[in-house]
Structure 1
């Protein structure tokens, strides 16, 4: 064996080091095993710094390094940085590392795309962003992003949520806020781990607030669990005083935010005299207050359309009502302000209200006054009934009168009043309103083939899912209906939709279907087996592996009513009817039964009502048992005997 001179080894090692690039970091082998368990991605490091320069300017600096363990974690390989005319990006950098921590490449300018983020309703956003994707074909790998955003819209301070989703663990995350002298920070801590305490200090006359978490294990995704935002650590921050493009305000209460927004939009509701006279003529002779409001709302829907205008202060300040009257369009603020002016011309008082809109959005944090809103709606208190209010969505030309639905219902809105407004609840849609009521006539022949006619009424939030179907082409209607019918072999022969009258308290849509169902109940010897519950079978949740970790959170209340009339040929008779099922629990009530009628048909009646509620995790086994019993009853079969066999 030949020996290599020691000096040569030193030289070769130095040369390799010189050409090896940056020193390795974020090696996956260094990850604690506990952080990889149940995780698709691990936050190796997340440092967020909010520097408040003044009441009119903030600077947010973020560094994030995330190890992507598998394909399900690949969403974390990209980063989206928002910007607008009031928020500019100082820099946006990134790099990607292999499993050993060696840098594969850095983020290049051509890797960053500039995109529009308009959502069609927002209150205060220019809706643009820069997005970068450092995805790799081989797992695991680590991405690192750094960026800085300078904001002249200090209404929005940072919200720190280091663990944003299930199956995502955190090795280390820090959050720091630096406040100038004379400007107080408002903050609220939620669910911080034991031992995680605020570190507060004074540096060069500035107040520094710092939080840090380490080694947060991934949460397992559980059925019917609260949203992860209610389970993981968070720190919410907000200004006590702010200034947007010269408009200063305070933010120590909801009244403060309401007053600032109201004053910003004051004196913008003047209408042309001819339009004022038109509104007065429109409601002349109408004594019913709600009917007068309906006429004005119908005029709004017929004569305006929505466009998004969210530039700078325009994200908060409305177009004048006269401009909307002349042009026929506006954003959510402008159309709401315009409708308010139309109602005022008709002698009706209404108030604009800020709201957090979105079908998947949860209610605001009512105990922490801050800017949490993205939309504006109109609140119309009725004089005739002190406890009654009409709510109007002014951006939608087809929205039913007074209906908020899943977009803005079941949450709080902030009234905009000159003296400062308050939070008020929007309409609540519970089990009584969210109804799906179906009647089916099924005509079975001796060979188990069937024809069926289904008439289904959906109201409330059940209506939301089908509201747009009536306006589609027939081919598209059939496609969408077919995709959601949980049936095996079938042909959709007819589709028809009929909305409830516009005077209905809760909007609804009646869907009528005609189906051909070959082999619905194929014979087996001298028996035929059929499941009377054609379309409303509730599956049982998958049991948790190990001990349940979260509460049971049922966030959607509904009522389902099903009647199925089975019309049988003379050659088929029921062998035995299954016993009725009746379940009454805190989780919901259920009943189903079969009845033989004098004309030889069999009637199946089912009712399921579920509340919107929350239960302790100790109640999960009882909830699971309820769902299992419902599932078993829904799948129960009726046995028919062939009398001519």
Structure 2
């Protein structure tokens, strides 16, 4: 929805959007910085930030200055991007000065000013859809011991474009400060997340200004861990805003989340008017005689399959959608544009519908955050049918009606209008679980060949995944694509037949029937490993290490599998693995092998319930997953009865 604000939370490795009123390296300061003593742990990093400081000076609601200084020392040259910095530069946050220097061991120096750092488009592949630009500072000669000192200054038109002040990075920071200066009559609100909010506050006698400073020293790097929740949930940062101001022409009340909903409604209301093109679409869809749900489904499928997604950031495009009529004419647009068109078409068809602002799951949920427009980076539509609220994402062409894409499941959202006045958490979709059900049969003949027939029934995120895999635009026949999901990696596996149903989003689920053979699977073997025929559950185990963050086991879902194995008369199974039954707060698992009169039967079901595992519970979960993995990797002892 708004890349400028959303990427502030996402990208901390290239640059930290932080600032301060300092001069660049003065004479003699280089030697002082080179002599700074680092701890053993700090010395192991690729680089270290000696100073990261920012100063936000607010003159009035539509005029403020942000100055940033970063001093970084390169300790190793393994990472090529340690000498690269990217800073946004657009009409609402305009760069007015740059003073950048790289001082190398031996005294060699590179120096850049604003005239040496041209603006470059942030979307180079489709500049016709975007006026977003940035300044890319690149020092080519960085090496061990190089010190980089950058001071950059912005003029910012609106408080909504104030970036968060982030107090941690992927490398150590020796000192980090954030200074805020503003007139006493300006109500600047500062929210602190994952850090202490109390600043040092200074009131100068006879002055009408307030000065506040937040400062931290010797900040350890924030290190990623396998299977952790989104990193942004743990970043310490300050968020600044002003309440009761006009933002982009509409009143913005930040006292409650509903104020943001009313603000977005003010920006988009004039764009949500039907016209001749939208009415033509409804006429061509032939909705007469259909139920309300079927009308909504048909409209959703039209928008999700006919309108091409293009990120558009022209002027106010980061916040304000284009008109529904314009999107209907062009058949392209970003998430706001598609949600606007879908909402207008639904309303014109007599169905209650509202836009919904969403924070995608990869950015993490921040339950303690104060109301802030930049919290959201996506837009969808809510439709109300017989009192039931159904959420629709028209940018997902592979999602069934009423099923949200995996990136939105569990996300925070805000309805613009309707009954919900505060943050809600999105589920996967009413009445539709994320389920993958596989039923299969394997027939082994006397020559040792295995003939396998599998049926895949996919709903929710699994339908999204399999529809994407078998997209008609892939350029590969289904038989070739199918090899990616079949068990094992047998070199002579032969896919004979693939039958696909429900490839379109109009279907509630996707069903796939596959027939394939594995030559020589059991020839001259007594112990048979089942990798080539058994759909084993993919179990990810967290690393055996001390952890700081919880484990995210993925979205709630159900994975079930039933297999019948038919042996030739000359063979029989002598032993089968013992069954496994596990139930805990986070998941349920059951697996069993049975010998029947006609076949050997295998059944398994794995259900993730509560996907976030707190750190104290990780050892127990790791042991349970190991037990499951051992059972899934079982083998059968098959003997010759002759």
Shorter-chain TM-score category? 0.7 to 0.9
Match of 2:636 among 624, 635, 638: 638
Match of 1:42 among 38, 48, 63: 48
* CA distance in 2: counterparts of 1:461 and 1:455, whole angstroms: 17
Tell me if the contact between 1:263 and 1:418 (Cα under 8 Å) persists in the aligned partners: no
* CA distance in 1: counterparts of 2:253 and 2:54, whole angstroms: 25
Q: In the alignment, what sits opposite 1:53?
A: 59
Q: In the alignment, what sits opposite 1:565?
A: 564
- CA drift at 1:43: 2.7
Bigger drift between 277-286 and 250-259 goes to 277-286
- CA drift at 1:186: 1.5
- Inter-CA distance 143–227: structure 2 relative to 1 (3 Å threshold): farther
* CA distance in 1: counterparts of 2:287 and 2:514, whole angstroms: 43
Equivalent residue runs for 1:405-484 within 5 Å: 405-417=405-417, 421-428=421-428, 433-445=433-445, 449-468=449-468, 469-473=470-474, 475=476, 481-483=482-484
For the pair shown, the structure with the greater C-alpha radius of gyration is 1
TM-score where L is the length of structure 1: 0.81
Bigger drift between 308-317 and 421-430 goes to 421-430
* CA distance in 1: counterparts of 2:229 and 2:633, whole angstroms: 29
* CA distance in 1: counterparts of 2:168 and 2:134, whole angstroms: 22
For the residue of structure 2 that corresponds to 1:360, the secondary structure is: helix
Equivalent residue runs for 1:189-338 within 5 Å: 189-192=192-195, 197-203=198-204, 204-219=207-222, 221-272=224-275, 276=279, 279=282, 286=289, 288-301=291-304, 304-338=307-341
Tell me if the contact between 1:520 and 1:530 (Cα under 8 Å) persists in the aligned partners: no
- CA drift at 1:531: 5.2
Q: In the alignment, what sits opposite 1:488?
A: 489
Match of 2:158 among 135, 150, 153: 153
Tell me if the contact between 1:441 and 1:564 (Cα under 8 Å) persists in the aligned partners: yes
- CA drift at 1:55: 0.9
Deviations 1:481-520 (A, max 9, x none): 545656233345255532278666xx43234444444564
Match of 1:33 among 40, 46, 71: 40
For the residue of structure 1 that corresponds to 2:258, the secondary structure is: helix
For the residue of structure 1 that corresponds to 2:316, the secondary structure is: helix
Q: In the alignment, what sits opposite 1:187?
A: 190
* Structure 1: gaps of 5 or more residues: 1-19
Tell me if the contact between 2:193 and 2:369 (Cα under 8 Å) persists in the aligned partners: no
- Inter-CA distance 643–112: structure 2 relative to 1 (3 Å threshold): farther
Q: In the alignment, what sits opposite 1:12?
A: none
Q: In the alignment, what sits opposite 2:365?
A: 363
- CA drift at 1:622: 0.8
- Inter-CA distance 478–282: structure 2 relative to 1 (3 Å threshold): closer
For the residue of structure 2 that corresponds to 1:440, the secondary structure is: strand
Q: Does 1:402 align with 2:402?
A: yes
Tell me if the contact between 1:262 and 1:418 (Cα under 8 Å) persists in the aligned partners: no
- CA drift at 1:370: 0.5
For the residue of structure 1 that corresponds to 2:453, the secondary structure is: strand
Q: In the alignment, what sits opposite 1:342?
A: 345
- Inter-CA distance 537–27: structure 2 relative to 1 (3 Å threshold): farther
Q: In the alignment, what sits opposite 2:597?
A: 598
* CA distance in 2: counterparts of 1:172 and 1:636, whole angstroms: 54
Q: CA RMSD, aligned part only?
A: 3.8
Q: In the alignment, what sits opposite 1:499?
A: 502
* Structure 2: gaps of 5 or more residues: 1-26
- Inter-CA distance 22–113: structure 2 relative to 1 (3 Å threshold): farther
Tell me if the contact between 1:532 and 1:638 (Cα under 8 Å) persists in the aligned partners: no
* CA distance in 2: counterparts of 1:288 and 1:184, whole angstroms: 51
Deviations 1:497-547 (A, max 9, x none): 32278666xx432344444445645745x54444587332444525433x4
Tell me if the contact between 2:355 and 2:382 (Cα under 8 Å) persists in the aligned partners: yes
* CA distance in 1: counterparts of 2:243 and 2:365, whole angstroms: 22
* CA distance in 2: counterparts of 1:214 and 1:636, whole angstroms: 53
Q: In the alignment, what sits opposite 1:6?
A: none
Q: In the alignment, what sits opposite 1:4?
A: none
- CA drift at 1:349: 2.6
Q: In the alignment, what sits opposite 1:5?
A: none
